[in-house]
Amino acid sequence: MITILAGGTGSVKLVRGFASQVNDLRVISNVGDNYWLYGMYVCPDIDTIIYGLADILDYERGWGIKNDTFNFLRQMEVFGEETWFRIGDRDAATHLIRTNMLKNGMNLSDITKWMCEKFAVAIKIIPVTDNSVETRITTNKGELHLQEHWVKYRGKDKVEGIQYIGAEKARPNPEAVNSIHDSKLVILAPGNPLTSIGPMLRIKGIRKELSKSKKKVVAVSPLIGDKAISGPATQYMEAAGIDVSAYGLAQMYSDVCSNIVIDTKDKALAKKIQNLDVTVYETKIIMKNKQDEDALASFILKQVHV
Ligand code: FO1
């Protein structure tokens, strides 16, 4: 069994790489990006993984369903609503049915299980908690939900801090804790360390289980040099006072992980990282197509000895 902690568009590629090579793969999904919109509960990280594994993800954008239409959104515009968050028509059905199920008393884990069945996704996707955790960004203009900071205002307001509202009190999903415990390998996907992986690490039971299992935990860097492969990781790392590099990442993860995969271009950092008692593996980490996804997963399966 292999477990991967995932969130966001960077993670789904590696999840797909493992999915084609591992029989029992579990995905623990971030919930900090979840966002209430027009009375619908949107879970971007869960949906991106489901759509990616169901092969209906819009890969160009990294979110939503490919070839989706936007009639619903156009009508919301007619009604005078803000439409900066681009919910497609088919995607809206996912959020609507999920919200109905929540209102009928089902929890997010069971809804996600049901959703996987409907999309014929055999891999277990486990929300890290069924409680509410919300990633909020403190900026020079005030506090914003992550989606507002990144999508509505395109990340232009200066980040002064990041908070995970509800994380301290959130009960970890017991299935997530058991999966970490029972897996022979646990991967921290190359997602944004502050907004995709960070909220999950802030949940006490998850952090504790990862710390206990750290010898078998492998982080995959989402950075090359001081640049993120995609998304706003660098902006958030800077704000959190973390060195913007694979070294900074290894420092941030060093309590919960003993291994890191970095890009070959970052090999000069290897010695410094190893001094943190973190074993370094170097390979090509950019995933531009399915071959790259499979190659990175295969590298980890064959080369990383935990
Ligand atoms: N990201 C954008 O940059 N613009 C959007 O309009 C947008 C809409 C959207 C709708 C559904 C969904 O599940 C995700 C969506 N995302 C959009 C992606 C999302 O904001 C983030 O990339 C993830 O939260 C990062 O993990």
Q: How far apart are CA 277 and CA 297, in angstroms?
A: 23
pLDDT single digits (tens) 154-174: 999 999 999 999 999 999 999
Residue pair 285/263 in contact by the 8 Å Cβ criterion? yes
Residue 183 Cβ contacting ligand 1 at under 6 Å = no
Give the residue carrying structure tokens 């970890």: 172
Residue 64 Cβ contacting ligand 1 at under 6 Å = yes
Residue 8 Cβ contacting ligand 1 at under 6 Å = yes
Q: At what angle do helices 108-118 and 89-103 cross, to 10 degrees?
A: 140
Q: Calculate how far, in angstroms, residue 31's C-alpha sits from the geometric centre of ligand 1.
A: 13
Residue 251 is given by DSSP the state H
Q: What kind of architecture, by CATH, is found in domain 1-32+121-306?
A: 3-Layer(aba) Sandwich (3.40)
Q: Report residue 6: phi and psi, to 5°.
A: -135, 155
Segment 80-94 shows an average pLDDT of 98
Which of 86, 119, 134, 229 to probe ligand 1 with, by most ligand atoms within 8 A of CB? 86
Q: Report residue 153: phi and psi, to 5°.
A: -100, 10
pLDDT single digits (tens) 131-149: 999 999 999 989 999 999 9
Q: Calculate how far, in angstroms, residue 63's C-alpha sits from the geometric centre of ligand 1.
A: 6
Q: Is the dihedral of CA 82, 88, 89, 90 positive or negative?
A: negative
Residue 242: both structure tokens together:
């973390």
pLDDT single digits (tens) 236-291: 999 999 999 999 999 999 999 999 999 999 999 999 999 999 999 999 999 999 99
Domain ranges of the chain: 1-32+121-306
- Kindly report the protein residue whose alpha carbon is nearest to atom 13 of ligand 1: 44
Residue pair 235/227 in contact by the 8 Å Cβ criterion? no
- Kindly report the protein residue whose alpha carbon is nearest to atom 3 of ligand 1: 151
